[in-house]
Chains A and B, each alone.
Chain A
Amino acid sequence: MKKIVYFFIATLALASVAYAAESQIWGEMRIPNILGYGQEQSLKLGEFFTLWQGHYITTIFLGILILIPTVFGIHYLIIGPKTFSHEGKKILAFSLYSRIVHQIAAISFIVIVPTGFIMVFGSFFGGGEFVRICKDLHGVFTIPFAIVVIPMFLMWVKDMFIHLDDIKWLIIVGGYLSKVKNPVPAGRFNAGQKTWYWLATLGGIVMIATGATMFFMDFDIAMVKNITGLSQIDTLRAAAILHNLVGFAVVILFFVHIYMAVFAIKGAVQSIITGYMEEEEVKILHSSWYRKLKKQGKV
């Protein structure tokens, strides 16, 4: 406990030092930044950021927002949802601890993703107070996610390493392209869930780091400089570019995650609420895990 308190004090002290230092954007660095802009030997991040933000990012996000739900709509109409008997036995899949951690992350995402979209399409909403509030919520709801991201990483990491099942799962796209209920090769988590796990945790940490960089803007932390080797303004540009690129992947898989839990597998969302999965659901969708449980005599 003491260690944690010291850690917080040290962080706050470092942060205040970082703020108290001379401006890294409007101070001495301003002239080298102006002279370096767009020069051959520079990384041209300013021009690159202007090009991407000015021409492509909004369009790509719009594409994602239209295309992904369309694909899901077609899938739902043609193949339809999977339904499993809710009458049979139930298997405990998620402990209370993992459910609480997941729910905190879930609430954060439910606020962060739409507010992010509102900022991307800020001109559509006319800017001003509404978009400004969304920007603040986007930042505030990062705090609960930042608290649970490492516990979430640790609680599931041992089940998330790649397995032969995952390749088989990817080849048949998890069995979601057929209506037949054949056992699908997957352990406790399938390849899709694993991909989402790595992206949500590691990608999530990238999102937190780049987002915090943009929020705090004018800071001077030697460690950051040593890692990136960039001037503060280029760090901000790189953060904005990275935040959007990783953001593409995060929102795509976030939509997939919601579709799977809420629509594609009827009642699947219950398992993260109550912690219990239907036996038939485990038998079909996580067949390797089911076999293992059977061997252990847990079913």
Chain B
Amino acid sequence: MSEMARMKFYCDDKRCIECFACSVACAEAHELPVGISRRKVVTLFDGVEGKEISTSIACMHCTDAPCEQVCPVDCFYIREDGIVLHDKDKCIGCGYCLYACPFGAPQFPRDGAFGHKGSMDKCTMCAGGPLETNSKEERELYGQNRIAEGKVPMCAAVCSTNALLVGDAEMVSDIYRNRVASRGKNA
């Protein structure tokens, strides 16, 4: 990976076949509780011929991450490679990151007697969290750290049509540009 690498996701909606593999694999790999979906497959115009379209949404790991800007306890940090992560031990579950997020990525488990919001949970691009890499604690709080093991994030790894692309922003856009060029017209 070059020094300038910025990790990005991109879901090619012309290829996504709404198989839900990415969201299921994510939930299983990170042992997410019910009600938390770090990655979600959404279909628009379901059943309308020629109009139906599906895509897969998670944290987009924004360069100017709005969540990081609004967090009152500064629990977010952006890695050198652009992956946006947060510290669940610092998070107070206020929900501000969700209000700022354009993608609805932050998730909040409901726990405790008053059903108050627990620490926020979101896609880590399979890069774990601030705790010791690949430790039991990191795994319990943030899920697998596949990036540290040199593996592709779970969702993209299982995408059978290669609709979900992940990697250095330049490489992702190169692949997508080639695909558009070979398709010939309008994306």
Contact = CB atoms under 8 A, between A and B. Distances in A.
Contact of A127 (B69, B75, B96, B100): B75
B72 A120 contact: yes
Contacts of B74: 122-123, 127
Given A30-B40, A34-B57, A127-B92, A139 B114 contact: yes
Contact of B69 (A34, A50, A136, A217): A50
Interface stretch (A1-9, A88-96, A233-241, A257-265): A233-241
Contacts of A140: 114
A105 interface: no
Q: Is the interface of B mostly helix, strand, loop or mixed?
A: loop
Contacts of B103: 34
The interface size bin for chain B is 20 to 34
A234 to B, nearest CB: 9
A122 B92 contact: yes
Given A50-B100, A132-B92, A217 B73 contact: no
Contacts of A233: 98-99, 104
A72 to B, nearest CB: 27
A233 B96 CA distance: 11
A37 B66 CA distance: 12
Given A49-B100, A54-B66, A58-B72, A127 B91 contact: yes
Nearest to B99: A237
Interface in A10-32: 25-26, 30-31
Interface of B: 37, 40, 42, 44, 57, 66, 69-75, 87, 89-96, 98-104, 107-108, 114, 116-117
Interface of A: 25-26, 30-31, 33-34, 37-38, 46, 49-50, 53-55, 58, 119-123, 125-128, 131-132, 135-136, 139-140, 214-215, 217, 233, 236-237, 240
13 contacts: A25-B98, A33-B102, A119-B92, A120-B72, A121-B72, A122-B74, A123-B72, A127-B87, A135-B92, A139-B114, A233-B98, A237-B99, A240-B96
